[in-house]
Amino acid sequence: METESAGNSSPPEKRVWNRISNQLLFIMALAMVVGFGAMAGFYLHRESAALRGQGERTMGLLARMASRGIQTAMLSGNAEMAHDYVENIKTVPNILDFQILREDGVPAFQDNRTIEAVNRRLGSAAFSPRVKVADQPMAPAPEAALIAAQEGRERELFAYRSDPRGDPVLTVLSPIANHEDCHGCHLPGEGVRGWVKLTTSMASVEREISAARREAGVVFGVGMLFILAIIYVAVRRKVVRRILGMTEAMGHVAGGDLTHQVPGGGCYELNRMAYSFNLMSRELLKSHQGLQGERDKLATIILSAREGIVVTDHDGEVVLVNPAAERLLGKTAKEVAEQEFINLLDDPDYLKNLLGSYDQSMPETVVYNNRMLNIYAASIRSEDGRPVGSAALLRDVTEEKRLEEKLRQFSYTDGLTGLNNRRRLDEILVDEFERAKRYGLELAVLLFDVDHFKRFNDQHGHDQGDRVLQAIGRVMKGLFRTVDYPSRYGGEEFCVVMPSTGLEGATMVAERLRQRVEEMVVDGLKVTISIGVAIFPIQPVENADALVKEADQSLYQAKHQGRNQVCCAAIEPAKIGHGPADSRS
């Protein structure tokens, strides 16, 4: 929305949410709700835990008192009294269930199992059996699994569940310890003799917790509204009013009144903002006054520049053609404007592609009007995507390209023979070998040198030797194809790279070269050459250096067999190793 408003003359739409006071109020309210809500939730959670813990402690204490009462009744030797004690406790309000469980979780005082075990241990009928017993064996209580999983078994167990109405119910299991006083009837190592099970409703506790939460919510809501009301009034008076004054001043400046100033006062930040605004308006006034002079300077630079400049407006109409562009294009400014920008180089499709390219880091080079031109061309758009215009920068690089090509030739050419030099040869070998390997093509390499060249130089002088090497270079230029690469390998050694050439063609050309050099006469003197040939993929090498080594081995073989001949590793059965240092002379 802000971008669209910047592009239009009308201010942004005035909405409730766009007001800074409402946005600040919302942010503060959100922060307070999160912060105070977290604090209230923490303290309510602790209060709920405290109320539940109080209930657990109370029920635990009651269960321990009941346990001690059972132990007292059992020590008196009257089990029936313990049974009656249990029944009486069940009548206490809020007690939903009260039972005495054996150590395995089965309800006690329902049969004669314990009495019979004690009588057997004592060897007498110390206790009389009950007359009324359960008709069938009693099943363990639901808490039997909790009892079995308990470690130590000498502390209270607490378990929560819900009754059919959904109210929480607390069950307390308190252990009945096997004290020393019980050892007259029970063995000392039997541990816990049983459990007191006490079940009560926690509905009242949960109601207290719910009431506390409701009260906290009311207090929290009222407090939040009161605080937000104070913040809203303070923000409106201390911040919004000053911002509205600043906005009005901006409107004056936007209307062209660059002398308008905002009065100071208020808080530090807003006072600093007013100072910055006043400083900005003064600087704008200075900049506006200097723009006229700068525009004149820019026009002088554009019109006197050696580079051609052509500019259009957002509708594509040519609005600027400097004299350099007229000279480079061979057209007047009127002709350029009439032919439209897209026909600047008389090739609309090319210029469209150039304008649509996002990569303008390097210029395009074109030949136009008998000149080589570097051209930058781009369509310029605003941040919202609207076309602003197009521009082209033309530079004459004809002389630069000519010098560049001449320098490139110097860097790749051997100065004595005019053939490719060793640096260029190394590049060619790598490129052609990779191409042959990738596409399954044949590649031939011829490596040769002049026989007994050291002796020739010693006898006739190095100048004469150089003239012989120049003559060999001329023979190679006239013999090989345009796709071949005759090169000077070093000293009196030469190398030829022949793409897409097999064994038969390479050996035939090598033999023809040998014959022409043998027939050649330089200042009344003759020389011969020995040639080694290597063919890929006949030689299954992995790289270009290995292929050259194969040709070198073939050259050594030709030297060993008498010189002035062609040898190829692919057709010779033996591979001759390197001889003495002067064996290739």
Tens-digit pLDDT profile for residues 402-459: 777 677 777 788 889 989 999 999 999 999 999 999 999 999 999 999 999 999 999 9
List C-alpha distances in Å: 198 to 154, 160, 171: 16, 12, 6
Is the model's pTM score more than 0.75? no
The sheet that has 318-321: what strands, in order across it? Answer: 318-321, 308-312, 387-396, 371-381, 364-368
Name every residue whose Cβ is closer than 8 Å to that of residue 17 and which is 6 or more positions away in sequence.
23
Supply the pLDDT for residue 579: 38
H/E element holding 437? Answer: helix 422-439
As a whole number of angstroms, the distance between CA 111 and CA 92 comes to 25
For 406, the token pair is: 């001449």
Residue 165, φ and ψ in degrees, nearest 5: -85, -5
Q: How many helices (H) and strands (E) does the chain have?
A: 17, 14
Supply the pLDDT for residue 562: 93
For 491, the token pair is: 């000293």
Residue 366, φ and ψ in degrees, nearest 5: -130, 155
Phi-psi region of 357 (alpha: psi -120 to 50; beta: other; left: phi over 0): beta
Supply the pLDDT for residue 268: 66
The sheet that has 168-176: what strands, in order across it? Answer: 95-102, 194-201, 168-176, 157-162
pLDDT under 50 in the chain at which residues?
1-9, 136, 152, 572-585
Supply the pLDDT for residue 73: 63
For 74, the token pair is: 């059992």
As a whole number of angstroms, the distance between CA 169 and CA 231 comes to 47
Residues pairing with 200 in the sheet: 95, 170
H/E element holding 531? Answer: strand 529-536
Query: What do you get for the CA distance between the two ends of the chain, in Å?
Result: 85
Supply the pLDDT for residue 110: 65
Within 10 Å of residue 160's Cβ, how many Cβ atoms? Answer: 11
Domains and CATH numbers, the chain: 41-208 (3.30.450.20), 305-402 (3.30.450.20), 413-568 (3.30.70.270)
